[in-house]
Structure 1
Amino acid sequence: MNTRSEFMSSRLKEVLLDGKWIAQTNVKEQIKSVTWKQATKKVGSLNTIALLTYHLNYYLEGITQVFLGGNLEIRDKFSFDMPPIHSEKEWSELVESFVTNSKLFIERVELMKDSMFDEPFVHEKYGTYQRNIEGVIEHSYYHLGQISLIKKILLDF
């Protein structure tokens, strides 16, 4: 890997879609292996797997819009406003949306020129593109851990 874009896109692939280096799993693998009933089952005060998937997807979609030339329209306060999921079809649609948005996000990072990583992301108060991409990676690992633990709890019942 010679460029920052190659390195960062590789890290994103590891956590989101098909890596197993650090966590021995990835988000896609975890969410594709649960049913909609498991994904929406509440365990104590923990978020559901579906809600965590929605939350990750919300940020991927919103940041990708900026990469595509759009405005930053996402807001933290709305990142857990998931519509109810009532069927396997609705859960599958969320999973596929997550996979699609992950691929698109990674694709945009792969296409970035290295100089862009040091540029401000939308406004200087949001840091650089590098910082935001690293934030997506860290955020994804954080929630991957939660999803993995919730799944383990559900499967032990």
Structure 2
Amino acid sequence: MSSVSELSKRFREVILNGLWIASTNFKDQLSDVTWEQAVKKIDSLNTIAMLTFHIDYYIAGIVNVFEGGGLEIKDQFSFDLPPIESQEQWEGLLNKLWMDSEKFAVLLEQMPESKLDEVFVDERYGTYRRNIDGMIEHSYYHLGQITLIKKLLKNE
């Protein structure tokens, strides 16, 4: 299997459909979360909605680069979730995550292998491979948080 295919598979596993590393994924964990649960604050933890927005923010930002655009995202805005006040708004955020994630995976699959070792936007960000690996690792980190927050919500 090529490196781009393997990376795309790993990315899909954490967001859309995998069970290998964590025995779950974003889609599985978020499938039964209501909007009220998604925005419920527990102590100083981020909400499930904030973490969902945060991951999609970075995925969409990288997709923009994959499509030939610039890196327009900024860490300081990565938790700037607009208010969610209905199930429809929550489902809109989820659908955006699923669509952006699938686009990310497809664009990655179409990428030439040689691109993985090229500079990602600026030398300080490393290579495409480093940023794709980072996105996968970042996603698993927040998937763990979402899983724990869901357990805390059930105990309330």
| Superposed displacement of residue 156, structure 1 | 2.0
The amino acid that maps onto 1:94 is L
Partner of 1:103: 102
Mapped to 1, the partners of 2:155 and 2:18 lie a distance apart of 25
The amino acid that maps onto 2:40 is K
Partner of 2:45: 46
CA RMSD of aligned residues (A): 0.6
Partner of 1:79: 78
Mapped to 2, the partners of 1:10 and 1:4 lie a distance apart of 10
Matched, 1:34 2:59: no
Q: What is the number of residues matched between the two proteins? A: 156
The amino acid that maps onto 1:98 is L
Query: 1:51-71, CA deviations, whole angstroms, 9 ceiling, x for partnerless residues?
Result: 000000000001100000111
The amino acid that maps onto 2:78 is S
The amino acid that maps onto 2:4 is S
Mapped to 1, the partners of 2:68 and 2:54 lie a distance apart of 22
- Matched residue of 1:38: which SS? helix
Partner of 2:145: 146
Matched, 1:94 2:93: yes
Mapped to 2, the partners of 1:121 and 1:146 lie a distance apart of 28
Q: Can you give the 5+ residue segments of structure 1 that lack an aligned partner in the other structure? A: none
Query: 1:2-58, CA deviations, whole angstroms, 9 ceiling, x for partnerless residues?
Result: 200111001001101000001000011111210000000001110000000000000
Give the structure-1-normalised TM-score: 0.98
The amino acid that maps onto 2:109 is E
Identity %, equivalent residues: 54
The amino acid that maps onto 2:73 is I
Mapped to 2, the partners of 1:15 and 1:5 lie a distance apart of 16
The amino acid that maps onto 1:61 is A
| Superposed displacement of residue 93, structure 1 | 0.1
Mapped to 2, the partners of 1:29 and 1:57 lie a distance apart of 16
Matched, 1:115 2:114: yes
Partner of 2:127: 128
Query: 1:105-135, CA deviations, whole angstroms, 9 ceiling, x for partnerless residues?
Result: 0111111111100000011111000000000
The amino acid that maps onto 1:48 is T
